[in-house]
Amino acid sequence: MNLAKFPRRIYTPYETPLQPLDKLTAVLGGGPRIWMKRDDMLGLAMGGNKTRKLEFLMADALAKGADTIITCGAVQSNHCRLTLAAAVTEGLKCHLVIEQRVPNSYNEHASGNNFLYHMLGVEGIHVVDGGSDMMAEMQKVADELTAQGRKPYIVPGGGSNVIGATGYAACAQEILNQCFKMGVSFDHMICTSGSTGTHAGLLVGLKGENANIPLTGIGINKPVPIQKPNVYKLAKALAEHLGVQTPITEDDVIVFDDYVGPGYSRVTEGMVEAVSLVAKTEGILLDPVYTGKTMAGMIDLYKKGYFDGCKNIMFLHTGGSPALFAYTDTFFAAEEK
Ligand SMILES: *Cc1c(COP(=O)(O)O)cnc(C)c1O
């Protein structure tokens, strides 16, 4: 893949670390060696996977002459925080449309990412009910701004269109290049499967490089019959956008929904245990909404022998730890049990 032909801003002037988690591997019984790709250490305010997508999305916004970015997310959205941070970096204004996926969950003075929306100088926050047509809600804000003579640019939820997902095809190249330099080869990769840009981007990147490494996505929101075709749809469009010739089938999309629990952003016991375990064994902070549930899934699959026969497996840490500060009561309660 020649990704250099796509306009891009650089928000992380280095490769994120790729490190073995030997203490965690030992705690889990010493099977396949677990590695972690530290995309929680990407650039922009407190990092996370959206930074890679925004490198391409912001380049597109600037090329189109935008002066204001509009995006959407949940009440504790890492994507909203990072899109806002990217806008500030570029000297642009930013509006956020916040979806209350859990009824009455929006609190203007909440901690975590919500606090950072204000710290980073958001121009407008528009709160809408769960299940709203988010594209239509963002278009309303765009129309108001256009009427005032502004030039708005809409970044879709999670930055998950072909432009944003290009960031994760680039991540696949970065990982394979690091593997080559370090003399390590992965037999399996694990990532979170949310708005699909990360899962589809990584899948297409691995295909485009003919890596032959299976990728398992752990769902944190939708059931498999919805998530799998969604990932496939974006992967197909992305392969076309990037000119990847290797065929990609729906069977290449591996996704589990067994670790979602009662719903998006809702606490599960497995999540609390996984976040605590990784913090206490490796000193690494996961997050309650995405990587905590993904790690709970990886640990369960590891114990069930899903990775048997592998020598090295890689977990993609997509960030999100600022949201931990909105869940302190949950973790204190678990420690006191
Ligand atoms: C958005 C997000 C994800 C999911 O990535 P998608 O590309 O939306 O599937 C995973 N982890 C964190 C921390 C996120 O903020």
> Same structural domain for residues 108 and 26?
no
pTM over 0.95: yes
Query: Which tens digits make up the pLDDT trace of 276-327?
Result: 999 999 999 999 999 999 999 999 999 999 999 999 999 999 999 999 999 9
Supply the pLDDT for residue 331. 97
Supply the pLDDT for residue 277. 98
- Report residue 80's pLDDT band, with 50, 70 and 90 as the boundaries: very high
Question: CATH number for the domain including 59?
Answer: 3.40.50.1100
Among protein residues, the one whose CA lies closest to atom 4 of ligand 1: 194
Paired residues of 190 in beta bridges: 216, 315
The finding on whether 317 has its CB within 6 A of some atom of ligand 1 is: no
Supply the pLDDT for residue 101. 85
- What count of other Cβ atoms lies within 10 Å of the Cβ of residue 283? 8
In the chain, the DSSP E strands lie at: 18-20, 33-38, 68-74, 93-100, 124-129, 152-154, 188-193, 215-219, 254-256, 312-317
Query: Which tens digits make up the pLDDT trace of 158-199?
Result: 999 999 999 999 999 999 999 999 999 999 999 999 999 999
Q: Between residues 335 and 234, which one has the greater pLDDT?
A: 234
Q: 108 to each of 14, 50, 84, 112, 127, how far by Cα in Å? A: 35, 23, 17, 11, 10
Question: Measured from the CA of 196, which atom of ligand 1 is nearest?
Answer: 9
> Same structural domain for residues 299 and 270?
yes
> Cα(180)–Cα(172) distance, rounded to whole angstroms?
12
| Count: domains in the chain | 2
How is residue 177 written in tokens?
């290049």
Of 110, 134, 159, which closes a domain?
159
Q: Report the catalytic residues.
A: 77
Q: Is pLDDT above 90 for 263? A: yes
Per-chain mean pLDDT for the chain: 97
The finding on whether 39 has its CB within 6 A of some atom of ligand 1 is: no
Of 142, 159, 176, which closes a domain?
159
Percentage with pLDDT > 90 across the chain? 98
Mutate to test the pocket of ligand 1, among 37, 40, 42, 50 (most ligand atoms within 8 A of CB): 50
Supply the pLDDT for residue 102. 87
> Cα(332)–Cα(272) distance, rounded to whole angstroms?
10
> Same structural domain for residues 317 and 245?
yes
Domain range holding 256?
3-48+160-336
Question: Measured from the CA of 193, which atom of ligand 1 is nearest?
Answer: 9
Query: Which tens digits make up the pLDDT trace of 216-259?
Result: 999 999 999 999 999 999 999 999 999 999 999 999 999 999 99
> Same structural domain for residues 269 and 123?
no
Q: Is pLDDT above 90 for 123? A: yes
> Cα(9)–Cα(254) distance, rounded to whole angstroms?
31
Burial 76-94 (b: 16+ CB within 10 A, else e): bbbbbbbbbbbbbebebbb
> Same structural domain for residues 232 and 316?
yes
- Report residue 98's pLDDT band, with 50, 70 and 90 as the boundaries: very high
Of 129, 159, 189, which closes a domain?
159
How is residue 125 written in tokens?
């926050």
> Same structural domain for residues 116 and 213?
no
DSSP tally for the chain: helices H, then strands E = 11, 10
Paired residues of 99 in beta bridges: 74, 128
Q: Residues 89-116: what's their mean pLDDT?
A: 95
Mutate to test the pocket of ligand 1, among 195, 204, 230, 233 (most ligand atoms within 8 A of CB): 195
> Same structural domain for residues 58 and 196?
no
What does the DSSP assignment read for 269-287?
A: HHHHHHHHHHHHHH-----
